[in-house]
Amino acid sequence: MPRAIGIDLGTTNSLVAHVDERNRPQVLEVDGGSRLLPSAVYYDAGGDPEVGAGAKRRAPERPLDTILSVKRFMGRGPGDIRPEDRGIYRFDEAGAVVKLVLNGGTRAVTPIEVSAEILRVLKRSAAEALGGAPGGCVITVPAYFDDAQRQATKDAGRLAGLEVLRLLNEPTAAALAYGLDKRSRGVFAVYDLGGGTFDVSILRLDGGVFEVLSTVGDTHLGGDDFDRLVARKLMQEGLTPVNDAPSPAVLRGAVAAAQKIREELTAHEVVEADVELPEGHRLRARLTRAELEALIQPVVDRTTGPCESALRDANVVKVDGVVLVGGATRTPLVRRHVRRLFGQEPLTDLDPDTVVALGAAVQADALDRGGREDVLLLDVIPLSLGVEMMGGVVEKIIMRNSTIPASATQQFTTYADGQTGMVVHVVQGERELARDCRSLARFTLKGIPPMPAGIARVEITYAVDADGILQVSARELTTGIEQKIQVKPTYGLTEEEVEQMLVESIEHAEEDVTQRFLVEWRVEGDRILGSLESAFGLDGGLLSDAERAAIDERMRGLRDAMAGTDYLAIKAWIESVDAASKAFAERRMDKHIRQAMAGHRVQEFAESIVEHPRATGSKDGDLEDEGT
């Protein structure tokens, strides 16, 4: 019988585990005897990609063709990748999905495809170890992954030919591995500092139920940051010949050396190294543990805020135990930091590198057998889901830390007389303005019968499944017109795109993608122009003539660009309009907050909690007019 497997698809290393005949989770060997598969993929100009340790060894000589830490790019869209993450790579951001450009520009691959290569190797290794193709699988994700990143991970699983039974949050997986071991009871914190991501979750364990109370994190914080800092210092001090603009290959070599030195400093007080780097460079380094700690202290300090927020969100002052996850938690400084934060010695019985995979295997096995009577995971959604309102303000529909699956419904009304369409812009995040949140999808509810403003009632329902993935539906209540969409993140892959990749004919999709992008940016342009026009009507008095003229001029530029076919130009003009109208948006926000403070919205709050439509007279409760 095919056995289910659990996969930890990590930033630095990936693992696969299963539950053996004696009901114990075990990590399986991959790639010639090791349990850790480096999450590295090397693309040779011809031939199949190479994955794992072999690929990692290629990194120094072929830095651009060897993708490391691809997890940082999962679910990211054009213009979405942080400068510090770009590293040495080149990106093709012309399509809806970001691609990494390889082999001197002759090849481009999406992060999803790169991840799928890693998953294929894990799947093959599992098949060899288990003597047959594995059944379903559970793949772990950082708890703080947003909808787009989750979708991308699931797509990678499908692309690798895996049946993904569930996405599981990494801290929850770790707790599962620990909890089963200990039959514990109480409130636990999981401190997960991986290669590229940081998560902290607070869970309550009771009678086999793992209830996640809160989760907070940072998808751009991890051990990789330590290595970059160490590499920079070592190069300043000991790189010969001196080189202020080292090539990607030299940088790669230096970072690899830094990682090794950092790891050795866990057991030693001082490490000296003399490393040959590519292109005739050489790195002579001497680093003490105290120096290392001074370097990485600021990064470690960045984990304090999330831990405090998590405790506050969980309404907990003290925890009964702290679990450490991720290789970076071996660093003595990190352990001291955790001890101080939570006032106790962290639990370290399980290997922080494998604990997530073990938990994933337990969950995969349980799911495969139709669940276990004795164990239940109740996880939460990490970031609030909302909808953009007039003026770009976000109305939250499902709050972060809600137990999933979850759903919520809110009613909205039309803004203009005779309005027949409504744009629903779905966003995720905690910020107040939609443009500061992650845009997940945008769709238009059409066919609202023309009525005076504020009469039509549109009900929007958000439903999040057990993987943390969202589905949105909108219904006009007087006519019953309904539209339902599985929220595919704006920058994610569509079903068709995945199919396309499966048959490896990505090229043909190019043109469609460009076309779709043009359409999307035109819609975005329309939306912004429309919402500014309305805002001028309502709050035009907040602007001086000169300010208004500056905005008007850029709006004209945007209109001209929208008449053309270059979506990048439209995008640039949108940014320009945004920049020019930023102060205006802020003043409007202030005004509405002042109004709220003056009690004008007292009644609206009560309405929102009993799910009644907002008062007809209230403008800030209206969804944007699609333009009628």
**How far is it, in rounded angstroms, from Cα 15 to Cα 34?**
10
Does residue 406 bind other proteins (CB under 8 A)?
yes
Does residue 180 bind other proteins (CB under 8 A)?
no
The answer to whether residues 25 and 362 touch, using CB atoms and an 8 Å cutoff, is yes
| Binding residue (CB under 8 A) for other proteins from 18, 76, 99, 166 | 166
Contacts of 175 (CB under 8 A, 6+ apart): 188, 190, 201, 203, 205, 210, 323, 359
* Choice among 65, 192, 497, 625 that is catalytic: 192
Structure-block tokens of residue 23? 């009901």
Per-residue contact track with other proteins, 343 to 382, x per CB under 8 A? --------------------x--xxxxxx-x--xxx----
CA 21 vs. chain centroid, Å, equals 36
Q: Which stretch binds other proteins (CB under 8 A): 22-30, 304-312, 437-445, 532-540?
A: 304-312
Rank residues 563 and 609 by Cβ distance to other proteins and give the closer one.
609
Q: What share of residues in the chain are helix, strand, coil (percent, to 5)? A: 40, 25, 35
Question: Is residue 476 within a helix (H) or strand (E), and if so which, with residue range?
Answer: strand 470-476
- Work out how close the CB of 147 gets to other proteins at its nearest, in angstroms, rounded to a whole number: 17
The answer to whether residues 329 and 225 touch, using CB atoms and an 8 Å cutoff, is no
- Specify whether 20 is catalytic: no
The answer to whether residues 412 and 461 touch, using CB atoms and an 8 Å cutoff, is no
Taking alpha carbons only, the member of 151, 208, 185, 205 closest to residue 426 is 151
Structure-block tokens of residue 149? 């990143």
Place of tokens 């114990």: 24
Give me the phi and psi of 553, to 5 degrees please: -60, -45
CA 22 vs. chain centroid, Å, equals 36
Does residue 317 bind other proteins (CB under 8 A)?
no
* Choice among 31, 56, 71, 225 that is catalytic: 71
- Using H for helix, E for strand and C for coil, what is the string for 109-150? ECHHHHHHHHHHHHHHHHHHHHCCCCCCEEEEECCCCCHHHH
The answer to whether residues 170 and 11 touch, using CB atoms and an 8 Å cutoff, is no
Rank residues 308 and 436 by Cβ distance to other proteins and give the closer one.
308
Does residue 408 bind other proteins (CB under 8 A)?
yes
Structure-block tokens of residue 30? 């991959």
The answer to whether residues 463 and 384 touch, using CB atoms and an 8 Å cutoff, is no
| Binding residue (CB under 8 A) for other proteins from 34, 184, 407, 483 | 407
Rank residues 261 and 367 by Cβ distance to other proteins and give the closer one.
367
Does residue 184 bind other proteins (CB under 8 A)?
no
Per-residue contact track with other proteins, 111 to 140, x per CB under 8 A? -------------------------x----
- Specify whether 233 is catalytic: no
Rank residues 402 and 514 by Cβ distance to other proteins and give the closer one.
402
Does residue 597 bind other proteins (CB under 8 A)?
yes
Does residue 312 bind other proteins (CB under 8 A)?
yes
- Specify whether 8 is catalytic: yes
Q: Which of residues 453-492 bind other proteins (CB under 8 A)?
A: 463, 465-466
Site size toward other proteins, by CB under 8 A: 48
Does residue 15 bind other proteins (CB under 8 A)?
no
- Specify whether 71 is catalytic: yes
Rank residues 245 and 317 by Cβ distance to other proteins and give the closer one.
317
Does residue 598 bind other proteins (CB under 8 A)?
yes
- Work out how close the CB of 615 gets to other proteins at its nearest, in angstroms, rounded to a whole number: 6
- Work out how close the CB of 367 gets to other proteins at its nearest, in angstroms, rounded to a whole number: 4
| Binding residue (CB under 8 A) for other proteins from 97, 165, 176, 535 | 165
Q: Is 599 left (phi over 0), alpha (psi -120 to 50) or beta?
A: left
Question: What does 249-264 look like in DSSP terms, one character per residue?
Answer: HHHHHHHHHHHHHHHH
- Work out how close the CB of 306 gets to other proteins at its nearest, in angstroms, rounded to a whole number: 11
Rank residues 4 and 543 by Cβ distance to other proteins and give the closer one.
4
**How far is it, in rounded angstroms, from Cα 147 to Cα 152?**
9
- Work out how close the CB of 432 gets to other proteins at its nearest, in angstroms, rounded to a whole number: 14
Residues at the site binding other proteins, with contacts judged by CB under 8 A: 136, 165-166, 206-207, 209, 211, 304-305, 308-309, 312, 363, 366-371, 373, 376-378, 402-408, 463, 465-466, 597-599, 602-603, 605-607, 609-613, 615-616
Q: Which residues are catalytic?
A: 8, 71, 170, 192
